Amino acid sequence: MLIPKTLGAFLWHFIQKQKVSFGIILGCTSFWAINESFFPYFVKILVNKVESLDRFEPQLWLKLSGPIFLMVICWVVMEAAMQFQGYLTYKVLPRFRAAIRDEVFEYTRQHDHTFFANNFAGSIANKISDLPRASEEIILIFVYNLFSTTLAFLISLFILAQVNWYFAALLGGYYCLIVLATILFQPLIDKTSQAHAESVVRLNGQIVDILSNIISVRLFARGPYERKYLNPFQNEEILKSEKASFINELLNFVRRVLCLLFIGGMIGGLIYGWREGWVSIGDFSLITITSFNLLGMIWHMTYNMNQLFKEMGTIRAALSLVIQKHAITDFLGEKDLNISKGEIHFENVTFNYLKNTNLFKNQNLVIEAGQKVGLVGFSGSGKTTFVNLMLRFFELNEGRILIDGQDIAKVTQDSLRTHIAMIPQEPMLFHRTLLENIRYGRLDASDEEVLEAAKKAHCHEFIMKLEQGYETMVGERGIKLSGGQRQRIAIARAILKNAPILILDEATSALDSVTEKLIQASLKVLMKGRTTIVIAHRLSTLADMDRILVFKQGQIVEDGPQEELLKKEGHFAKLYALQSGGLLPEKAKSS
């Protein structure tokens, strides 16, 4: 999926999906512009006609019926067109917004792991929300202000030129000067508006981050600290807002000066022309009505151009974040992964996060199908990176990772991850029902299959004790459940997924003995018949492993069964000796 990154191309990308409807909307707007331009001309004809007739004329109404009829027809056509335009806009814009939201969300979802690690989730969500809202606002400003006012101005200018060149030149000069002033101010308005929009995003991101960690805020009694922590972001937003508002008000001052000059020139010209006899009463009516109509429209148009530039800045800021080039992509022609056994092969794998800092270098490794492998090592030794490379969250610098002989870089990402069940150290659940959260493992699973998976994961019992059972909403990220309950829900989800490869990152937190036994029993059910890779933190888990990979500073330094590694008295034996309460150490103890 390709989404243009430039503003104009981005808007056109979505407008062309409903270009006929948008064309009709512009056509209806044209009727309004024509009416606004010709209605004063019909008034001029009517006024001149009235002035030339005797008020006691026997056929007075008949002689006035022509211009009156034209005025009525013009008004009726305009009202009908505007009514239809309103209906069509009501139908088109929600679909326009939905198309933007849908495509941008899908594009953002395909960014790599690093993108989401480097940006606040709240900031990303705000950008996704900003794009449809700001795009709709730009469309409305263009249709109802820029296009309609410019068309009405051009038609009125033509009509005035037929009546008197002086007033046509005066109106043309005013329009050109006020638009020129707006365009000259545009870069400053654009710059300050975008800076303000970015400051708002940063502020909102901090607020979301604090609210996401509200338990920590309360546990450490850091409410006043967090309020103070927000102050620099608040002050930045205020400063950026003041700068943007100052530029807007400066432009408004220029507009007011030009407006006063135009009104002075128009009134002076009308009075002088009437005295000299080259401005009739009808001309007086036409020029006055047209001038004040356009004066209001042009002022409103240029005022809305401020909002237009602001929304343009908002869209550019959003596009610069979310429409970045994908770091990891599926290329055309890539096939789905097909797994028959589940053998994993690292072939000359080299990977680094930063240049010249290899985490893995020419790593070769084979994990046989159905084998249960434990990964151990201090924090930062490369265990999580090892499984992230298997999931293709990052691209390799060199080498290949093969599953059943298929290079994972040459199969689709979705098919790869469909065949791997991952239980993270801290399972995150959606703020949905327990039934929906478990069914997330396989969306087409029946209720009976969901219940069966829950029973195997030993979570059916606690679910049934809840007032709403499987229909219980779990709260944001599953906050209403305990850590052990979230673990078992994640295991049930993995059981339901029934993937041939399982990756488990054990929780480091201590669990009560009953919960730990239930989780261990659930895992034994889950691991049966699957290629299993466990980032192990518990000695009890290692006892069930066929093989252990020992990580140290980004390298696999030992490989073998637990008993064999203990006899070697190497790095694993050191880790084993440092265990406490059945948990392996996360970092080396300082001597």
Mean pLDDT of 585-589: 62
What tokens appear for 174 in the block? 């005013």
Phi-psi region of 333 (alpha: psi -120 to 50; beta: other; left: phi over 0): left
Mean pLDDT of 383-406: 90
List Cβ neighbours of 548 (8 Å cut-off, separation of 6 or more): 373, 374, 375, 376, 536, 542, 558, 559, 560, 561, 562, 565, 572
What tokens appear for 44 in the block? 């001029």
Lowest mean pLDDT among 136-140, 194-198, 480-484, 581-585: 581-585
Mean pLDDT of 383-411: 90
pLDDT score of 195: 86
The pLDDT tens digits of the residues spanning 413-431 come to 888 988 988 888 888 888 8
pLDDT score of 233: 93
pLDDT score of 591: 43
Q: Is 80 exceeded by the pLDDT of residue 322? A: yes
The pLDDT tens digits of the residues spanning 352-376 come to 876 656 678 888 999 999 999 999 9
Q: How does strand 501-505 pair with strand 420-423? A: parallel
What tokens appear for 34 in the block? 């024509």
Q: Is 60 exceeded by the pLDDT of residue 511? A: no
Closest CA to 330 of 417, 440, 404, 405: 417
Higher pLDDT among residues 159 and 227, named by residue: 227
Q: Is 90 exceeded by the pLDDT of residue 134? A: yes
Q: Is 60 exceeded by the pLDDT of residue 436? A: yes
Q: Is 70 exceeded by the pLDDT of residue 513? A: no
The pLDDT tens digits of the residues spanning 484-509 come to 888 889 888 888 888 899 998 875 45
Q: Is 50 exceeded by the pLDDT of residue 143? A: yes
pLDDT score of 52: 62
Query: Predicted confidence band at 343 (pLDDT cuts at 50, 70, 90)?
Result: very high
Higher pLDDT among residues 585 and 144, named by residue: 144
Query: Predicted confidence band at 103 (pLDDT cuts at 50, 70, 90)?
Result: very high
Q: Tell me the CATH number for domain 344-429+480-580.
A: 3.40.50.300
Domain residue ranges of the chain, discontinuous segments joined by +: 1-163+297-327, 344-429+480-580
pLDDT score of 2: 82
Distance CA 565, CA 554 (A): 19
**Average pLDDT in the chain:** 84
Distance of CA 482 to the CA centre of its chain: 31
Which amino acid would we find at residue 320?
S
Query: Predicted confidence band at 582 (pLDDT cuts at 50, 70, 90)?
Result: low
The pLDDT tens digits of the residues spanning 45-77 come to 777 666 666 666 666 666 667 777 777 887 788
Distance CA 169, CA 163 (A): 12
Q: Is 60 exceeded by the pLDDT of residue 40? A: yes
Query: Predicted confidence band at 138 (pLDDT cuts at 50, 70, 90)?
Result: very high
Q: Is 50 exceeded by the pLDDT of residue 560? A: yes
Higher pLDDT among residues 62 and 92, named by residue: 92
Given a contact cutoff of 8 angstroms between Cβ atoms, the answer to whether 209 and 120 are in contact is yes
Given a contact cutoff of 8 angstroms between Cβ atoms, the answer to whether 378 and 508 are in contact is no
Closest CA to 537 of 561, 505, 565, 562: 505
C-alpha distances in Å from residue 446, one per residue of 15, 371, 451, 468, 493: 41, 30, 9, 19, 13
Mean pLDDT of 167-187: 86
Closest CA to 478 of 427, 421, 424: 427
Q: Is 80 exceeded by the pLDDT of residue 438? A: yes
Q: How does strand 344-351 pair with strand 547-552? A: unpaired
Higher pLDDT among residues 281 and 590, named by residue: 281
